[in-house]
Amino acid sequence: MSTVMNESPATEMKDRSAYSPGLEGVIAGESALCLVDEGEAGLLYRGYPIRELAEHSAFEEVAYLLLFAHLPNRQELANFSAQLIDRAVLPRLLEVFLGAVPSDAHPMDIVRSGVSLLGVVDSDTADNSHEANVYRSIGLLAQIPLMIAASYRLVTGKPRRRPHDDLTFAENLLYLLTDRREDDQAKAMARVLDVSLTLYAEHEFNASTFAARVTASTMTDLYSAITSAIGALKGPLHGGANEAVAEMFLDIGSRERAETWVREALVKKHRIMGFGHRVLKKGDARSIIIQRHAESLSRICGDHRWYEIATTVNRVMEQEKGLHPNLDFYTAVAYLLMGIPRELYTPLFVCSRITGWCAHVIEQQDHNRLMRPRALYTGPSRRDYVPLDHRS
């Protein structure tokens, strides 16, 4: 049966005032997940201040909060954590794929394609029910770290690791990537990693979450929406910034070079990664939290180089451009101290933001309205068609 779509002709948009380049300031939907506020309220996940969640809750509590709309009690948390361990297994198709990936492939491309393949092996993707999507979300949260670690270990020829049920999500993640878990320094690193995962988990209608929601609004499957989100996150103006910040620190090399380096970059009109935000013009509350942890980790590791470079760059950027660091800036300091390879920084963001994305996809599909905005037409006005043989 053929369907005739009843689209209106491409007329010029009548109300130009409705147009906002980059959708800046546009409210594109409703969400109960997160309040981004530059004022008194600060950043809230389902009503809870981010500062308290980062300081007092483990990341898996935050993941649970986003997916189930309440903070877990001890029993709920134990069950959730056990599920994350049980479901940390990759299907055979993923293993074959990881074995065939070129050694120079970017981990973000691997995780994007890996999530897409998880959709291939899920035999019931047509079921978009709330319960089915929560179940899939927990699977993705368990499998994505494994996928990232497995591909990294294959390329570097290191033996595979399995998550342990006596470790937290962050401790396991650090262990899967670096083999570290026992010593005091590793415990301190896992704590900072945990804080960074909580801070990365959710941020309203950012580009990748919006991409996920647009895709979900067609009532396609969760994996398709998450694949869209990962593709959007990869860009350096979004999640790719944390990797770019580390690259900048490595290029600067020492605190003594930092000021000249930034000033020269600004003269050349370069963007300094890890600064600025489309919404948070007065500063990012998350950056203040991760900066404090990056500083204390520098002390614990006895390595102040990255933190000193960072604070110098920060000072010059505030003086010269009035721009504040965003979450990616001091997170890069923390991840450098952990010895995590920098091409894994944006994939680490995925390990966390998968919770926010999934919660948004579920929220979108629970109250769906297809996203279909309009464009302001800027092409030529109507012209006469010229048959192929008459064209000069």
Ligand X SMILES: CC(C)(COP(=O)(O)OP(=O)(O)OC[C@H]1O[C@@H](n2cnc3c(N)ncnc32)[C@H](O)[C@@H]1OP(=O)(O)O)[C@@H](O)C(=O)NCCC(=O)NCCS
Check residue 326 for interaction with ligand X (CB under 6 A). yes
Q: Where are the alpha helices (DSSP H) in 157-284?
A: 169-178, 184-200, 207-216, 222-233, 241-252, 255-267
Please report whether residue 277 would count as binding ligand X according to CB under 6 A.
yes
> For the chain, where are the alpha helices, taking DSSP H only?
50-56, 59-68, 74-86, 92-100, 107-121, 130-156, 169-178, 184-200, 207-216, 222-233, 241-252, 255-267, 285-301, 305-321, 327-337, 345-366
Closest alpha carbon to 174 in 64, 312, 337:
337
* Least Å from the CB of residue 238 to ligand X: 6
CB of 317 to ligand X, least distance (A): 7
- Residue 50 neighbours by CB distance under 10 Å: 23
User: Could you say which of 194, 221, 284, 328 is catalytic?
Assistant: 328
Task: Identify whether 328 is a catalytic site residue.
Answer: yes
Q: Distance between the two ends of the chain, CA-based, in angstroms?
A: 41
Residue 351 CA to residue 115 CA, distance in Å, equals 12
Task: Quote the least distance from Cβ 38 to ligand X, whole Å.
Answer: 13
Q: Which single residue is written with the structure tokens 């297809």?
A: 370
Nearer to ligand X, 300 or 323 (CB): 323
Would you call 164 a catalytic residue per the annotation? no
Q: Residue 20 carries which side chain, given as an amino acid letter?
A: S
Taking a C-beta distance cutoff of 8 angstroms, is the pair 258, 312 a contact?
Answer: yes
273 binds ligand X (CB under 6 A): yes
Q: Which residue is nearest to ligand X (CB)?
A: 276
C-beta of 181 vs 324, nearer to ligand X? 324
Q: Which of 114, 274, 347, 356 binds ligand X (CB under 6 A)?
A: 274
For residues 157 to 196, the per-residue mask of contacts with ligand X, x marking binding by CB under 6 A and - elsewhere, is ----------------------------------------
Q: Which is nearer to ligand X, 84 or 272 (CB)?
A: 272
Per-residue DSSP letters for 227-241? Answer: HHHHHHHTSTTTTTH
Q: Total number of residues binding ligand X (CB under 6 A)? A: 15
Contacting residue, 41, 121, 219, 237, with ligand X by CB under 6 A: 237
Q: How far is the CB of 278 from ligand X (least distance, A)?
A: 4
Q: How far is the CB of 279 from ligand X (least distance, A)?
A: 8
User: For residues 328 and 363, which CB has a smaller minimum distance to ligand X in the complex?
Assistant: 328
Q: Which residues contact 207 (CB under 8 A, 6 or more apart)?
A: 232, 233, 235, 237, 238
**Residues 124, 132 contacting (CB under 8 angstroms):** yes
Q: Are β-strands 34-36 and 43-45 bridged in parallel, bridged antiparallel, or unpaired?
A: antiparallel
Residue of 203, 277, 293, 360 marked active site: 277
Residues with Cβ within 8 Å of residue 387, at least 6 apart in sequence = none
**What's the residue count for the chain?**
392
* 271 scored as a contact of ligand X (CB under 6 A): yes
Nearest to ligand X of 128, 206 (CB atom):
206
Contact code string over 306-325 relative to ligand X, x by CB under 6 A: ---------------x-x--
In the numeric block, which tokens belong to residue 150?
Answer: 């497995």
Q: Which is nearer to ligand X, 187 or 238 (CB)?
A: 238
Binding residue for ligand X (CB under 6 A) from 328, 336, 357, 360?
Answer: 328
The β-bridge partners of 34 are 45
Per CB under 6 A, does 342 bind ligand X? no
Q: Is 276 in the site for ligand X (CB under 6 A)?
A: yes
> What is the smallest separation between the CB atom of 263 and ligand X, expressed in angstroms?
12
Q: Active-site residue numbers?
A: 277, 328
| Contacting positions for ligand X (CB under 6 A) | 237-238, 241, 271-278, 321, 323, 326, 328
